[in-house]
Amino acid sequence: MSTEKSWGTQAFDWFEERLPIVSFIDNTVGSKYPAPKNLNYFWNFGALAGFVMVIMILTGILLAMSYTPHVDHAFQSVERIMRDVNSGWLLRYMHANGASFFFIVVYIHIFRGLYYGSYKAPREVLWWLGIIIMLIMMMTAFTGYVLPWGQMSFWGATVITNLFSAIPVIGDEIVTLLWGGFSVDNPTLNRFFALHFLMPFVLVGVVILHVWALHIPGSNNPLGINATPKDKIPFHPYYTAKDAFGLGVFLLVYFTVVFWFPNAMGHTDNYIPANPLSTPAHIVPEWYFLPFYAILRSIDDKLTGVILMFGSILILFVIPWLDTSRVRSATFRPIFRVLFWIFLIDCVVLTWCGAQLPEGIPLILTRVGTFWYFFHFLVLMPVIGWIETPRPLPTSISTPVVAKPAE
């Protein structure tokens, strides 16, 4: 009896011999890729971020087919998308809210990393790539928000580009270079569109590096201890199924916002066409920039504010070394755990502060919040790592765990 393969199988094997795509996928996210078996739902957020990224690129390309990046036509072209383009309203609302959800998902993903020590050796480069991803996301979101050319688009662009004049000596020249003129105007809008279109594809490249860097050591896990082969299960079908479920829950929230609260996270002023001669009463960036906006305005001196704002992100690059603890997961770090929650609350407070006028109580809170932010990383992280007595770590993931402290 011959074990002759079917024609389809033969064709498949012929191709796989020459370009093994399917086995590549199987080895990276399939049944041949082992992952720790104790990952909790906070490990869903990386995959969710990838999914949102795909939605953003799809909707973005389709929107770009109808959008006109010229000051006289931009606002109107967006309204045309909302009213005349088939399903244009859906594309626009998915894209605008998708940006917010991209940040929600990524921020949770980052906080997961902070809590479980995912930034520690040997995952430092993975962590760096993640920060770079966040920076590219921020630049993409910033340039994207300018495109509808509403009041907030214009004035947000004006305020933020003006920041660069704080750079000593060459500040003004840099701002002129950014603007392509003497104020935010058509050249600025046009180049922001070009950059907004470009950066997502750079992002895809960095995401690929990020996943690659992850696959070398494999995923961290809630216990923070190295997972041995017997502690692992194949990514497919366990985590593909879990990610599918997580995706469903995510979509329920996302679609609820897109279909019933599509303007909740936006700003009413952006439905007013940009007017360079009329400044809105309160210029507010989108919510995901608010904590950084707060840090920027915590200090009166412009240059110091700018340095602190960028510093608040750049400091993340060095936390693998700032954190001196040998224990990864906050599960076993009783003091660090408390500090983590305080830090999270600090970020939430800074977010709120970013939307207030920098005066009175909000200003005090902003300054305390900014101080604490840097204090947490520069002082607490190193010191606590030395002085803290971590809880005893389990010997392995598979052995029954001694009563874990409730989280």
Partner 1 sequence: MRIVLFAALATLFIGFAPVDVKAAGGEVKLDHQEWSFDGVFGRFDRQQLQRGFQVYREVCASCHSLDYIAFRNLEAIGYSEDQTKVLASEYTIEECCDDQGDIFDRPAIPADYIPNPYPNEQFARASNNGALPPDLSLMSKARHGGPDYVYSLINGYPDPDKSTPEMEAELMDGMYYNAVFEGNQIAMAQQLFDDLLEYSDGTDPTAKQMAKDVAAFLHWAAEPKLEMRKQTGVRVLLFTFVFTILAYFLKRRIWADVES
Partner 2 sequence: MADAEEHQAVPTEDESRRDFLLHATLATGAVGVAVSMWPLINSMNPAADTLALSSVEASLAGLQEGQAITISWRGKPVFVRYRTAVEIEEARSERWQDMPDPQPDEERVQDDRYLIVIGVCTHLGCIPLGQKTTETRGDYGGYFCPCHGSHYDLSARIRRGPAPANLEVPEYIFLSETNIRIG
376 is known as an active-site residue = no
Residue 144 in the binding site for partner 2 (CB under 8 A): no
Those residues whose C-beta lies under 8 Å from the C-beta of residue 327, and which sit 6 or more positions away, are: 117, 224, 333, 390, 393
Closest CB to partner 1 among residues 51, 93: 93
Residue 95 in the binding site for partner 2 (CB under 8 A): no
Show the site string, 34-73: x = touches partner 2 by CB under 8 A, - = not.
x--x--------------------xx--x--xx-------
The size of the interface with partner 2 (CB under 8 A), counted in residues, is 23
Residue 262 in the binding site for partner 2 (CB under 8 A): no
Closest CB to partner 1 among residues 46, 390: 46
- Tell me which of 286, 323, 346, 388 is the catalytic residue: 286
From the CB of 88, what's the least distance to partner 2, in Å? 6
Q: Which of 76, 87, 279, 395 binds partner 2 (CB under 8 A)?
A: 87
From the CB of 86, what's the least distance to partner 2, in Å? 5
Residue 284 in the binding site for partner 1 (CB under 8 A): yes
Residue 167 in the binding site for partner 1 (CB under 8 A): no
230 is known as an active-site residue = no
Q: Which of 47, 74, 104, 339 binds partner 1 (CB under 8 A)?
A: 104
Residue 230 in the binding site for partner 2 (CB under 8 A): yes
Residue 18 in the binding site for partner 1 (CB under 8 A): no
Q: Are 81 and 63 in contact (CB under 8 A)?
A: yes
Q: Which of 83, 230, 277, 400 binds partner 1 (CB under 8 A)?
A: 83
Residue 247 in the binding site for partner 1 (CB under 8 A): yes
Residue 342 in the binding site for partner 1 (CB under 8 A): no
3-state per-residue secondary structure call for the chain: CCCCCCHHHHHHHHHHHHCCHHHHHHHHHCCCCEEECCCCHHHHHHHHHHHHHHHHHHHHHHHHCCCCCCCCCHHHHHHHHHHCCCCHHHHHHHHHHHHHHHHHHHHHHHHHHHHHCCCCCCCHHHHHHHHHHHHHHHHHHHHHHHCCCEHHHHHHHHHHHHHHHHCCCCHHHHHHHHHCCCCCCHHHHHHHHHHHHHHHHHHHHHHHHHHHHHHCCCCCCCCCCCCCHHHEEEHHHHHHHHHHHHHHHHHHHHHHHHHHCCCCCCCHHHHCECCCCCCCCCCCCCHHHHHHHHHHCCCCCHHHHHHHHHHHHHHHHHHHHHCCCCCCCHHHCHHHHHHHHHHHHHHHHHHHHHCCCCCHHHHHHHHHHHHHHHHHHHHHHHHHHHHCCCCCCCCCCCCCCCCCCCC
Residue 195 site contact among partner 1, partner 2, none (CB < 5 to 8 Å, cut-off depends on kind): none
Question: What Å distances lie between residue 66 and 42, 69, 77, 262, 373, CA to CA?
Answer: 37, 10, 7, 20, 42
Residue 209 in the binding site for partner 1 (CB under 8 A): no
Tokens coding 62:
């389709």
The interface region with partner 1, picked from 1-9, 184-192, 205-213, 269-277 by CB under 8 A, is 269-277
The interface region with partner 1, picked from 4-12, 268-276, 318-326, 373-381 by CB under 8 A, is 268-276
Q: Which of 1, 19, 169, 281 binds partner 1 (CB under 8 A)?
A: 281
243 is known as an active-site residue = yes
Residues carrying an active site annotation: 215, 219, 242-243, 286
**Contacts with partner 1, residue ranges (CB under 8 A):** 37, 40-42, 76, 79, 82-83, 89-90, 93, 104, 108, 233, 237-238, 241-242, 244-245, 247-249, 251-253, 255-265, 267-269, 271-272, 281-282, 284, 287, 290, 348, 351-352, 354-357, 362
